[in-house]
Structure 1
Amino acid sequence: MLRKNISLFLLLNFLIFDAFAQIREDCSDAPNEQLRELCLRFRRMDQISREKYEKQADAALWPPQAPGSPTFQRPIPIPPAHRGNVAYDPLECMSLQCLCPFFNGRMVAQDHCILPNGEPLQMAYRKEYRMMTDDERFRYHRALQIIKQNGQYDFLSRIHRDVSSGGGAHSGPGFLPWHREYLKRFEIQLKMIDPTVAIPYWDSTLDNFLPSPRDSIFFSDLFIGQTDWNGFVVTGPFAYWRTLEGGAAIRRNVGAEGNLFNENQINQVLQQTNVEYVLSYVTQTAGCPYPVNYGAIEYSHGAVHRYINGDFGPVPTSANDPVFYAHHAFVDLIFETWRQLRQPRWVRESAYPPDIPSCTNPMHFSYSEMRPFPRLINRDGLSNAYTDQLYRYAPRPTCTRTEPACGSRYLFCDTRGFPHCVSKIKLGGICNGYEGFDACYNGQCIFGRCIPGPTPAPFKPIIVTPPPRPPTPRPQAPRQQASRKQAPKQITGINETLKNITNSIKNSIASRQRTKPVASKNQTIVTFVDCFNRNPCCESWALLGECKDNSKYMNINCPSSCKLCTPSYSLNDTCTDRHVSCKQWKGEDQCSQSTGPHLNFILENCRESCGLCNSKKSDKCTIPKRKRKLAEELNIHSALTKKSSVVNKETNILRKLA
C-alpha cells in the first residue's frame, strides 16, 4: 500500500513538472509561424515591463506639510460615491451626471442631462461600422478630423505608444481592462465635439467571408479610405494624416500577412468559463500553473493588426490609424458579451486572474496602477459602470432565410448553409462564388469580378399577417392604389429596415440644422484644459519654492501654480468658480459634505459657489519648518503656523526662566 502511494505521488509530481516544462519561452510550441511571431512580440514587451518594474521606486507622494435615454441608451443608476461620479477632467468621468457640466448641461433628474440645445445627453450606442446611417458616419468622421486638427487625437495616440514599451496594457490580463478605459476616454473626447457621436465597432468576420477581404467596401473612401501604390492612405476621411513619427500619411499593407477575426475564434472565447482564459496570461514562464493559450483574444486580435499592417501592425504605431478604435471596440464587444453570458453581475467587477509572477509581470496584477491613468488600478477596468452609464453595443448584423436582409446597403445576406451577413465588395474586387447575390456595391458579379451595372433584385420582405383587427368599412380599391403607389419604393429596394434608416438620416440632418445656432457653444467645450491646483495651499507652497523642492507631489497636485500648464482661468481672480462642475457640486451639498482630496479641490476651485471669498486660502496651510522664515519674508501667514510660533515663544520663555 505504501509503495502504491509513493508511486502515485511520484507520478503526480512528474505530471506537474511536465506541465510546467511544456511552457516554452522561445514560443516553439506555437501551432503556426504567425502565432509564434505574436508570442515573441508579447514576450519582448513583457520583458521590458518586468525590467521597468524592477527599476521602479514606489516613492510615496507627500504634501509639503506632511512629515515625509431610449431603453438601449437608458443608464442604470450608480451609487453617488462610485468612481467617476465626480471628476475634475471629463475623461475621468464614469457617469452622464459627471459629464453633464462639461457639456454646459443641466441635470433634471439623477440620470437625465439636458444640453443647451434642449436635447438629452445620451449614452453612446456603438454600432457596427456599416450599420451606421450616413449622417452618423459623417459625424463620426468629422469629429475625428477635428480632434486630429486640435491635437487631442495625437495626445491620445501618444498615450498608447508610450505604454507599448512596458506597462500593463499588453501581453497579459490587463489588456482588456486597459483598452476599455482607453476607448472610453477616446469616445468622451469625440463627444466633446459632437455629443451624438459613438465609436463604431468593426466586425471583421463580415469581411473574412469574402474570397479577398481586402476588396471589402470597408476599405473604400466611404469608410477608412484607400492607399496608393506605396501603401499611403491618400483617399477617404483620413487621407494624408500625419503620424506621430512624422510620416506624411498613414501607411497600410492590407492582406500581406495575418488574418481577420472568424467565428471560431470568437466562439472559443465565449465558451470559456474561467476568467483566466479570457483575461489571459500570454507570457508564462516556468512555474506558471496555467498552460499557454494560443486561442486568447489578445492573440487573435493581434493577427488583425498584422492583416492591415503598415502603421497598424506594430503596437507603438498602431493608434496612428483610426481603424484602431473600431477594431478594439469589437474586441471590447466580445469581452462584454462573454461577461454577460458567463458572469453574474456581482462577479464581473471582482473576478481577475491570480497575481502570479511566473505567469505575468507585476504591472498586470489586479491592484497595480493602470498607467498612465491617475488614481486607477487594473481591476477598475472591470467596472459595470462602463456599460451601465456610458455606452452600449448594438447587436451584430444578422439575417435569416425568411428575412435575408442585414439592414444596411453595405452588407448582403449569404443564404448558403447557415445564413449570415457579409460585407459588400468594391467595384473591381473579386467576388468568386457570389454570382447571383447582391454582393457588389453599386454593381454586379460577372465572371468573378464586381463590375458596374444593375444589381440583382433586392430582397422583398415577407409581409407578416398582423393580429386580427375589427373589420373596417374601407373599400378594396384604395388599398390597391396604395400598394401600387408603394411599388416604386419596393423596386428601389427600400424594405422596412431601410425605411427606418432613411428616416433616421432625415431626422439627424433636420436635428443638425436645428442645432446650428448653438454650435458655437459646443465648440468652447473642446478647449477644456485640465490645469487645476488640487489644494488651496498650492500658491503659497509654490512661492516658497516647493515646486522644485517637492516636485513629485507638486507636479501632480499643483500644476497650475508650478506653471506646468496654462489654465483657462485667471490666477489673480481668487473669488470665481474655476471648474465647470462647481454649481452642480454646490447643489449636491458637496461644499459641506466632501472630505479628503475632493474637499481640497473644492476649496481651491469653487470659492464662489461655496461662499469662501472672504477667507484667505493660506490661513489653514501648514508651512514646513524649513520655510517659515522665508514665509515671513514673503508675508505668507498661516493660522496654523502662527499658533505653533506662539507655542515656541512660550516654551523659550519658560526655558529662560528656568
Structure 2
Amino acid sequence: MRGIYFILLWLLVLLFVNCQQRFMQNCDEAPTPEAKQVCFMLQRMARNSSRHRPNKPVHRIPSPPEFLRPAPIQPNARGQIASHPYDCMTITCLCPFFRGSLGPENQCILPNGQLLTMAYRKEYRMLSEDERLRYHYTLQILKQSGEYDRMTYEHQSVGQGSGAHSGPGFLPWHREFLKRFEIAIRLIDPTVSIPYWDSVLDSYLPDPKDSIFFTPLFMGENDEFGNVVTGPFAYWSTIDGRPAILRSLGEKGKLFTEYDIADILAQTQIEQIMAYTAPLNDCPYQPMFTALEYTHSFVHLWVGGHMEPPEQSSNDPIFYSLHSFVDLIWELWRQNHQSRWARETQYSQDIEQCSDPQHFSYANMRPFNLINRDESTCSSPYLFCDSRIIPHCVSKIRFGGVCSGFEGLDACFNSVCVMGRCVAGTPPTVPFVPQSQMPVVQRTQIKQQHAVRIFVNCFNQEPCCEQWAREGNCQSRKTEILKICSAACGKCRPAYNISDECTDRHVSCKQWKSEGRCSRNPDNFIAENCRSSCQLCAVKKNLQCQKFKTVSFSFLQKC
C-alpha cells in the first residue's frame, strides 16, 4: 500500500512538472532578461486564464469550423442602446446619460448648448494647461467617488483570468477597458479624454527619470521609498492597502524607442500584431519577443512598483496613458495595413495550442457585453451581417418568419430569432449618422453638481420584479431572480424612488420613445423602467404578473 502511495505521488509530481514546463522552452529563447521576465509573466497569466475559464471542458477538443461556431452576439449588444453608459458604442447612445438632446443630424446637444463630440486624445505634454488640469481634476473626482478603484479591481480580477493578457485578445480587451474609463471621466467633464504617454520622447534623454513627465506638473515624484508624494496623484491609496502609489523608475525594463515603433508598424500579418504571446510548445507560431504586448510590458517594468505586476498596474494613472499609446500604435498599424472591411473582420486564427480559448475570435470578452471580434453592421435597419465564413449582408426576416440557422444573429426585423422563428424580443439597432468633423468646443467651467454625478446601474429587468419580491422569491429563488430583479431584491440601491411605479427610471426613456420603442411591443426592460414615457401607468404592474418561473427568462435580452 505504501508503495502505491509513492507511485501516485511521483506521477503527480511528473504531471506538475510537465504543466510547468510546457511554456519553458520559449522563455529560454528570450533575447534579454527583461523579455524573459515578461515571457514568464505572460505564461503565468495564461495559466490563470486556463484555470479561471468558465465551464472549462475536461478534455481539450479541436476548435469548431467557422460555419459551425455559435453566433456570439445577442441582438442590440453592440451598444446602440444601453442601460449603462459604459456599454454604449455611439454618441447617440451616450447622449441621455449626459443629459443631452439629439439634434436634427443625430448630434448630441449638451445642456450648456455645446456638442458632445468624439474624444480626441493628445500626447500628455501636448495638452494645454486648461486641458491638463481638467484631466487631473476628473481623475480626482473619479477616485473620490470610488469608481476609479472599482475599475482597478475589475482589471485585477478579470485581467488575470480572461482574454485580457497573454494572447490576441490583449489589444481589443484593453481598447474596450479604455473606452469605459474614458466614458467615466467624460461623465464628469465631457471635454476631456485620456492623454497618451509617448515614452519614445523620454527614451532620448540621458536619464529618462529626469523627464518633466515625472514632476508635480504631470505624474509626480517619488520619495526615497518609491512612494508618489507630489503631483495630482500624491498619496493615492491603492487597492492592496498601501497609502501611496509605488514606483521604481528605471530599475528594470525599458521605454518604447523609435525602432520598436517602426518594427511593429512594419509587420504585415495580423498574427504579428494580435500575437500569440504565451503559446504552447506545439503551436505553429513561435512567440515574437518584439510583439506589442511584450514591448508595452517592458514599459510596465521600467515604471515599476504597482505598474510591474499586471494585476496591480491600474492603481497608477500612468497605466491609462501607457495603454492609450499602445492603442494608438495598434490603430496606426490597422490604418496602414488593413482596409475598413479587414479591420472589422480580421482576427488571429483560433488555435488552442497557441492561446487560451478565451482569446478566440468568438469568445466572450469577459466581463463586457461583447465578443473579441464584434460583428459588422450593414448600415441599414433592414439588413444584417451574416459573419459566418465570409461576412456578407442579408435581408432581415419579417416578424413570424422562418429564421432557422440564424439563431443568435440580428436576423429578425423588430424581433429576435428563437427556435427557428422571429418572435417578440429586443428591437434592432438604430442607424447612427457619424459626425464628419469634431467642432471646436468652447471650454466652460465644470459645474460641481455635474462633476460628482455617477450613473447608478440598478434596475429591474422585468415589470413583475416588485411583485415577485413581495412573494418572497428573492429568498426562495435567489439564484435565478437576482439576475433580473436586482433593485427589487435589494441587491443594489437605485437612484430613483422604487415605490413610484409610474415614472421614468432610466435617463434614456424619452429618447427611446422618440425612436418608437414604446409603440412596437416594448421589451420588458423598457416596460419596467419607462412607464411614464411609454404611457403604461393605466394598468398596475402587479395585475399583469404571473408566478415567478425560471423558464420565463431563458431568452431574456439585456438592453
For the aligned pair, the TM-score class normalised by the smaller chain equals 0.7 to 0.9
Question: Offset at 1:372?
Answer: 1.5
Structure-2 separation of matches of 1:388 and 1:144:
31
Counterpart in the other structure of 2:50: 50
* 8 Å Cα contact 1:23/1:292 also seen in 2: no
* 8 Å Cα contact 2:473/2:548 also seen in 1: no
* 8 Å Cα contact 1:24/1:285 also seen in 2: no
1:380 is aligned to 2:371 = no
Code of the aligned partner of 2:259: N
Larger Rg: 1
Structure showing greater relative contact order (alpha-carbon pairs closer than 8 Å, 6 or more residues apart): 2
- TM (norm. structure 1) is 0.66
Question: Offset at 1:164?
Answer: 3.2
Structure-1 separation of matches of 2:366 and 2:475:
24
1:126 is aligned to 2:118 = no
Question: Given the superposition, is the C-alpha separation of residues 612 and 344 from structure 1 closer, same or farther in structure 2, using an over 3 Å criterion?
Answer: same
Counterpart in the other structure of 1:440: none
* 8 Å Cα contact 2:462/2:528 also seen in 1: yes
Counterpart in the other structure of 2:86: 91
Matched position secondary structure for 1:241: coil
Residue from 561, 564, 588 that aligns with 2:491: 564
Counterpart in the other structure of 1:176: 171
Structure-2 separation of matches of 1:556 and 1:327:
36
1:555 is aligned to 2:485 = no
Code of the aligned partner of 2:484: N
1:587 is aligned to 2:514 = yes
Counterpart in the other structure of 2:328: 333
Question: Offset at 1:390?
Answer: 10
Would you tell me which structure has more helix in proportion to its own residues? 1
1:269 is aligned to 2:269 = no
Question: Given the superposition, is the C-alpha separation of residues 230 and 22 from structure 1 closer, same or farther in structure 2, using an over 3 Å criterion?
Answer: closer
Structure-1 separation of matches of 2:462 and 2:197:
44
Matched position secondary structure for 1:91: helix
Question: Offset at 1:49?
Answer: 1.1
Structure 1 stretch 340-349 or stretch 104-113: which is displaced more?
104-113
For residues 280-429 of structure 1, what are the structure 2 equivalents within 5 Å? Answer: 280-373=275-368, 375-380=369-374
Matched position secondary structure for 1:186: helix
Structure-1 separation of matches of 2:38 and 2:375:
24
Counterpart in the other structure of 2:473: 546
Residue from 516, 519, 526 that aligns with 1:602: 526
Question: Given the superposition, is the C-alpha separation of residues 557 and 133 from structure 1 closer, same or farther in structure 2, using an over 3 Å criterion?
Answer: same
Code of the aligned partner of 1:606: C
Structure-1 separation of matches of 2:255 and 2:433:
30
* 8 Å Cα contact 1:30/1:294 also seen in 2: yes
Question: Offset at 1:111?
Answer: 3.3
Matched position secondary structure for 1:144: helix
Counterpart in the other structure of 1:522: 450
Structure-1 separation of matches of 2:212 and 2:527:
55
Count of residues paired in the alignment:
462
Structure-1 separation of matches of 2:477 and 2:280:
40
Question: Offset at 1:142?
Answer: 0.4
Counterpart in the other structure of 1:613: 537
Code of the aligned partner of 1:353: S
1:623 is aligned to 2:550 = no
Q: Over residues 199-257 of structure 1, what are the superposed CA-to-partner deviations in whole Å (9 max), with x where a residue is unaligned?
A: 00000001011111111111111110001111100000100100011111101000011
Counterpart in the other structure of 1:438: none
1:225 is aligned to 2:153 = no
Question: Offset at 1:389?
Answer: 6.3
Which runs of at least 4 in structure 1 moved beyond 4 Å after TM superposition?
Answer: 21-26, 54-58, 381-385, 387-393, 624-627
Q: CA RMSD in A?
A: 2.9
Question: Offset at 1:547?
Answer: 3.1
For residues 70-89 of structure 1, what are the structure 2 equivalents within 5 Å? Answer: 83-89=78-84
* 8 Å Cα contact 2:22/2:280 also seen in 1: no
Segments of structure 2 that go 5 or more residues without pairing to the other structure are 1-20, 59-74, 380-431, 552-559
- TM (norm. structure 2) is 0.77
Question: Offset at 1:55?
Answer: 5.7
Question: Given the superposition, is the C-alpha separation of residues 587 and 382 from structure 1 closer, same or farther in structure 2, using an over 3 Å criterion?
Answer: closer
Code of the aligned partner of 2:282: G
Matched position secondary structure for 1:378: coil
Matched position secondary structure for 1:557: coil
* 8 Å Cα contact 1:123/1:391 also seen in 2: no
Structure-1 separation of matches of 2:519 and 2:550:
33
Structure-1 separation of matches of 2:210 and 2:437:
30
Structure-2 separation of matches of 1:283 and 1:567:
43
Counterpart in the other structure of 2:195: 200
Structure-2 separation of matches of 1:99 and 1:626:
32
Structure-2 separation of matches of 1:92 and 1:538:
23
Matched position secondary structure for 1:349: helix
Code of the aligned partner of 2:459: F
Code of the aligned partner of 1:533: N
1:38 is aligned to 2:25 = no
Structure-2 separation of matches of 1:38 and 1:164:
16
Question: Given the superposition, is the C-alpha separation of residues 216 and 591 from structure 1 closer, same or farther in structure 2, using an over 3 Å criterion?
Answer: same
Segments of structure 1 that go 5 or more residues without pairing to the other structure are 1-20, 59-79, 394-503, 628-658
* 8 Å Cα contact 2:187/2:454 also seen in 1: no
Counterpart in the other structure of 2:148: 153
Q: Over residues 128-159 of structure 1, what are the superposed CA-to-partner deviations in whole Å (9 max), with x where a residue is unaligned?
A: 00110000000000000111111111011111
Structure-2 separation of matches of 1:198 and 1:51:
36
Matched position secondary structure for 2:374: helix
Q: Over residues 91-148 of structure 1, what are the superposed CA-to-partner deviations in whole Å (9 max), with x where a residue is unaligned?
A: 1111111111111111113431111111111111100001100000000000001111
Matched position secondary structure for 1:592: coil
Counterpart in the other structure of 2:504: 577
Code of the aligned partner of 2:470: L
Structure-2 separation of matches of 1:30 and 1:388:
48
Code of the aligned partner of 1:139: R
